[in-house]
Structures are given as C-alpha cells and as structure tokens.
Structure 1
Amino acid sequence: MMVIKIVKAIGCSLLFISTLACGKKGGDEANNTPPTNLSLTATVSTDKSGHVTFTATATNAISYDFDFGNGVFQLAPSGIVTYRYTASGMYTVNVTAKSAGGQTISKSIQVTVTVEQSVIWADEFDTAGAPNSAKWGYDLGAGGWGNNELQYYTNRTDNAVISNGTLKIIAKAENYNGSAYTSARLLSKDKFSFKYGKIEARAKLPAGVGTWPAIWMLGNNITTAGWPACGEIDIMEHVGKELNKIFGTVHYIGHSGSGGVGNTVTISNATTEFHIYTVEWSATSIRFFVDNQLFHTVNNSSSLPFNQNFFIILNVALGGNFGGPIDPAFSSAAMEIDYIRVYQ
C-alpha cells in the first residue's frame, strides 16, 4: 500500500512537471510569433495646418515605432498617432510593428503635406527713433570679435536708428574709445528665439571696401556650449571687396571660420536696391534663398546643433579676417532693413 502511494505521488509529480513544460512551450511559441499583416494609412488635414493622423495595424503587434521622415521618431503603442509637420513637402514615413517577443516588421508610405505658415514674430521698423528695446539688445565694445574686426559696437542712434520705415545700422570712420570705427550689432537674445520655420529680411546692403554686413543666428545655448558648438546660421553675408556676392553659410564643430558649410550667389544692385534674404529651416534641411531663388541647401540631422532655439543678430562689421582691408577713403555706410519676419 505504501508502494502504491509513492508510485501515485511520483506519477502526479511527473504529470505536473509535464504540464508546466507544455505550458511554457506554448508561451514561448506565442512570444516567438512575429507580427504580420502590417498596414499603414495617413489622413492629411485639409486646413494646411500640417497635421497628419497615421494609423498602423498588425496581427500580433504590441507597439509601433513611427519615423515621420524628418528626423522625428515616436512610439505609439496603439498604432494611432497625430503629428504636425512644420514645413510643406513630401515625407517618407516608416512604421515598425513589434511583437511581445521583440520581432518586428516594417512598412513605409509617402505623404505630401502643405503647410500654410503665419508670422509669429516681426519687426517692421515703422516707429522712428532707437530700435525697439523689447525686441533688440546690443553687443557692445571692440576687441575684434574673434575675427580681428576694427569697429567699436555702440548702442547710440548714431549707429542704429529707425527712420523713414527702415532700420539703419551705420558704420562710421570716427575715433571712439580707442577704435577708428564705430557700428552696431543688434540681437534678439533673451527677447526672442525660435526653432524651425522661415526667417525673411528685406535689406539694402552698405557699399565700400571693408564693409561686412550680416543677418544671422546663433544657438541659444552659446553661453554654456560656446561657439561653434552652439551652431551658427548666416542668412546673409556680404563683403564690400566682392560686390554683389551673397554668402549663405552654417558653422558648427569642425566647420568654424573659413571651414563653414556654405555657398554663394551673385545678384545685381545689392547695395543700391532692396532684396529679400530668406532661410527655411526644418529638422531635415536649412535652405537659403535670395529673392525667393534657392541657392544653397544644408542637410540637417539630430547630430547637428540646428535642432534647438536660435536668436537673431543684425550687424555691420568693418575689416577683419573676412571683410579684409578697409578703403582709406571710407567715411560711412549703412545696411538698411525694411523688415524682418519669422514664420511658422
């Protein structure tokens, strides 16, 4: 009788172990089943807001990773996500469905998005007098500014003033605090900055060999990261020694100074007529235009410093590494800006 009980106990134990083993095998098989039948659809908003709703479904999937085709990624466990594009274009969107066991399947579609941008910040320079202190501050002083420039930057209306509907940044030959020249450098730092969009300025440039006007931007983190790690976007640069040649450039680590990633375009009457200088900036590209004509494109990516807020700088430098020798007969010249606008 004792032997029978022991045999029964052993038999039950083996049956229990066998049942566990079968159950574990079944669980493993479920976990090892890859997702199948993946579908991906997109519904583009008709209001030109840039909103697109993506819906992904798959058998045996527990999550979906979306790549929106512009450097932005998002995990959506439900497979449904609405994303807003900030720039018009055709985007290749990829979704990866994942099973509980980690197996994946992917699918891509193309979506065309039209985004109607609106002005989020502007200065039309319509109020005579000093520049608007709510929008602009000043860099002050001499010291070469890293380029061996010769001007002393002031905050006087002698060097930066609004009159007749334009901002005039005036470079002068005059003795001032030990420098032979004065000018102004306005910046929106700590007053306005933005990430992605379009920035546009209508300007007439100063004449004279040695002048170096610029409309440009720096990353908000310049105080902590320093330059060029913060990134620099030169919307427009011009030097008097190369009349009518417009430079569009970006700078970052490995591409500082003359190693910037840039291109040029030659236009007519840069110093006698107004032209429109534009940059369209997104997570995937930085595009440079003069009078709505594209002349330079830089590919942007998450490894570059052009995915943070930037502030705006307006200035006229004199001489230096880029401006070159100043004409001995130079007395004064001004960059006139009719407006500057930022769209998103």
Structure 2
Amino acid sequence: MRLRPSFIALPVALALGGSSAAAAAPAGSSAPPLGPDSPAKIVAKVALPSAGAAREPGGEAGWQLVWADEFAGSSIDRAKWDFDRDCWGGGNSERQCYTDRPANAAVAGGLLTITARKERFAGPALPAHMRTAPDKAAERATRDYTSARMVTRGKAAWRYGRIEIRAKLPAGQGTWPAIWMLPEEQAYGAWAASGEIDILEAVNLGVACKECPGGRENTILGTLHFGGQWPKNAFNSTETNAPGVLDGFHTFGIVWAPGRIDWTYDGRVYATKRRGEWWSAASRDPDAPFDRPFHLILNLAVGGGLSEERGVKGVDETIWPQRMQVDWVRVWQCRPVAASGASCKGDR
C-alpha cells in the first residue's frame, strides 16, 4: 500500500528486462545488487506455479504458531487490533475516510468484514503521526466514502516468520484491498527508508481486462518499498494473474527470513526477493531495512493512484458497498527441528 504525501500521485512504471532485470538478479548471480543508482521502480510479471512446482511452506516441519486471530467472537479484539482514523487518503489521493465504526469493520459468523461505503463523512485531514502540532490536529476533511484500516501497531509486530491471511476480496473499478506491513519503529528514517512489505494488493478485480486470463482483472501484487526517504524511495514488485481469485476465499502470505522474502498464494510460493534486490540509504547491512519488526495492516481503500490509473480508470460510483472478508490471520515463526523431510529453514 503505497504511502506518499497527499500532494503527489506517482504512476506505477514497469522496469522489465534490460538493466532493470539485471540489477534485480538474485544473490549469487554476476549482477550487482540494487542501490541508489538503480531503477526506482521494478515490476516483474510471473505465472502462478502448478502443484508440486514450487515451495509449499505449510508442509514444512518446524513452524510454531506465535499469533493468530480466528475472528471467532462477536466483536473485534481490541487487544490485537487498533484502527487508523483519518480522511487523509493514504498519500495516494484515495477517496475514503477511515473509521472505527462497526459499519466499516465488524466480526460476525467467524469472519472479519471490512466494508467500504459510499457516504459523506468528515474526520481528521491527516493521519495521527502527522497531526501532533495543534494546527495540524485541528484540520478536517470531508470525503464521499468510508472504510476501515486495522493495524496491530503497538500490539504485535514480528521480525521474520510465516504470515498468512485467508480472505475474500471485493470486485469493481476503484476497489483496492490491501494486506501489508510497516515497521514498528522507523529505525532507518521516514517512509520508505524503513521499509514496507505488501503481502497482497489487488485493484479493480473483475473489471474487463484484455490481457488477463478469462478477460477479467485478476492480478495480485506483492511488493517491497525501500531505499531512502520519499522522494528518494524505490520499490520492487511482482505481479501474477490468479484466475480464481474472485471465486471465494484464498490464502495470501509471505515467508520472511534474513535476506529473503517469499510471497505465497494458496500455500505456494510464486515470487521471491533476496538481499541485493533491495537497499537502504541509511545502512550498509544488506538485509536492511527488512531486518526489524513490522506490524500488520488490513484495509480496503476506495480509489487512489494505483486503482484509478488501471482498469477502465477512476471509480465506479454504482458498486458500493464493497467488502473484504477475512477468515483468519496466522503468524508462525521457525523453530527448526531435527527431522527428515523439508524444514521451515527452506532454501536459505
């Protein structure tokens, strides 16, 4: 989920092949690692792997469950989740105000439901970390949509592990569901110097798409943001077509270890990024900034740069409300055991 100052909306550019592909080569190749002089925007496109053709971390020994929310109660567990409450627009010119109202986020029937609604709403113009001064705290904004952005910030954060979320995504032009992570502390500086891990993003699912299998938008994205503080930031993203993504619930995840992050869809790794495919302006450690604890974020945005620049453009005002439903969130960490067969240490 790209965070940028509200006055800027940068397009997503593709850096495929040529020097960009060479710069992003995995560790162990002859290509140099990425750095400040490398392309700021790299997007690779891959095919989903078939059964047996990719790592399946859920079948490995040694994973220990360390945190979970099964959404089994009748209300959101405030010991696990907090809410962002603002009408900032995420730095992407998104169109919603985020609230903590049950109308926008609620638990029932074993599911968390985040609902984006078309309704006028007023709230703080800036996110909490930007409204510490009295004049900033007093600024208000009014938007035409509401939604929710739930965070584990201050309650749970992890450095390394296997993180999976089983969710059902919304459809329509202007929808932007996201499952992602931000650093618990900005050890290397303000965004994006301290990093961002996007486990899952999708925009405009189900909208007509000539390039997509089946003729409908079914692209999912996994992305890292890093480098320096905006505007000297960079990102490295992988996109894949997931033709069944709108058929119901699917599991989105990452496996994060020192120097390596894998992205999974329904348990299979479809993308991998290694040290050398990201960089830090504030550290010479090749694992930085992805060597510190990160917290989890679940949100459903309305509009914004990524969604409005793709598909048929803009926001379809006739499709609301739209919902992202979450069956469960689970976090494991690797406790390797002496056993035959695959271990959670994987190919490290």
If the TM-score is normalised by the length of the shorter chain, which range does it land in?
Answer: 0.5 to 0.7
Structure-1 residue corresponding to 2:328: 339
Distance 1:265 1:120 in 2: 29
- Residue 224 of structure 2 corresponds to residue 250 of structure 1: yes
Deviations 1:97-149 (CA, angstroms, capped at 9, x unpaired): xxxxxxxxxxxxxxxxx7511110000011122x1100000111112221111
**1:209 paired residue number:** 173
Question: What amino acid maps onto 1:330 in structure 2?
Answer: I
Q: Give runs of aligned pairs for residues 79-118 of structure 1, distance below 5 A.
A: 116-118=62-64
Supply the distance in 1 between the matched residues of 2:186 and 2:156 (Cα, whole angstroms): 15
Aligned to 1:277: 252
* Residues 1:163 and 2:127 are matched in the alignment: no
AA in 2 matched with 1:227: W
Aligned to 2:99: 154
- Please give the per-residue CA displacement for 1:42-88, whole angstroms capped at 9, x wherever unaligned: xxxxxxxxxxxxxxxxxxxxxxxxxxx9xxxxxxxxxxxxxxxxxxx
Give the whole-Å Cα distance in 1 for the aligned partners of 2:218 and 2:255. 22
Q: CA deviation at 1:271?
A: 2.9
What is the deviation of 1:272?
Answer: 3.5
Distance 2:175 2:218 in 1: 12
Is the alpha carbon distance of 1:224 and 1:250 closer, same or farther for their aligned partners in structure 2, counting shifts above 3 Å?
Answer: closer
Give the equivalent residue in structure 1 for 2:295: 311
The residue type paired with residue 202 of structure 2 is H
What does residue 173 of structure 1 align with?
118
Answer 1 or 2: higher relative contact order, Cα 8 Å, separation at least 6: 2
> What is the letter of the counterpart of residue 175 of structure 1?
R
How many Å apart are 1:224 and its aligned residue? 7.7
Counterpart of 1:341, as a letter, is R
1:121 is aligned to 2:67: yes
CA RMSD of aligned residues (A): 2.3
What secondary structure does 1:168 align onto? strand
1:234 equivalent among 198, 202, 205: 198
Which is richer in strand?
1
**Structure 1: distance between partners of 2:158 and 2:92:** 27
User: Mean Cα displacement is larger for which, 114-123 or 144-153?
Assistant: 114-123
SS in 2 for 1:260: strand
Query: What corresponds to 1:21 in structure 2?
Result: none
Secondary structure (helix, strand or coil) at the match of 1:229 reads: coil
**Secondary structure in structure 2 of the residue aligned to 1:225:** coil
Matched, 1:268 2:243: yes
Equivalent-residue separation in structure 1 for 2:202 and 2:289 (angstroms): 24
Aligned: 1:185 with 2:142: no
Q: How does 1:36-47 map to 2 (within 5 A)?
A: none
Q: d(CA) in 2 for partners of 1:254 and 1:208?
A: 34
User: CA–CA distance in 1 between the matches of 2:226 and 2:88?
Assistant: 23
- After TM superposition, the score normalised by the length of structure 2 is 0.63
Indicate whether 1:225 and 2:189 are aligned. Answer: yes
The Cα shift of 1:255 comes to: 9.7
Give the Cα separation in 2 of the matches to 1:223 and 1:188.
Answer: 18
1:205/1:272 contact within 8 Å kept = no
Aligned partners of 1:255 and 1:261 also within 8 Å: no
Residues paired across the two proteins, number: 232
Other-structure match for 1:136: 81
Measure the CA separation in 2 of the matches of 1:222 and 1:169: 28
Structure 1 segments unaligned to the other structure (5+ residues): 1-68, 70-88, 90-113
In the aligned structure 1, how far is the partner of 2:87 from the partner of 2:188?
22
The letter of the residue matching 1:237 is E
* TM-score normalised over the length of structure 1: 0.64
Q: Which amino acid aligns with 2:227?
A: I
Aligned identity (percent) is 38
Q: CA deviation at 1:256?
A: 7.0
Give, in whole Å, the separation in 2 of the partners of 1:244 and 1:128.
32
Amino acid across the alignment from 2:116: A
In structure 1, C-alpha distance between the alignment counterparts of 2:188 and 2:275, rounded to whole Å: 22
* Counterpart for residue 32 of structure 2: none
- Helix, strand or coil for the counterpart of 2:327? strand
The answer to whether the 8 A contact 1:152-1:182 is kept is yes
Secondary structure at the counterpart of residue 148 of structure 1: coil
Counterpart amino acid of 1:265?
Answer: T
Which whole-Å deviations, capped at 9, do the CAs of 1:162-220 have from their partners, x for residues lacking one?
Answer: 11111011001111112100000000000000100100010100111100000000111
Please give the secondary structure, in 1, of the residue aligned with 2:305.
Answer: helix
CA shift for structure 1 position 259: 4.7
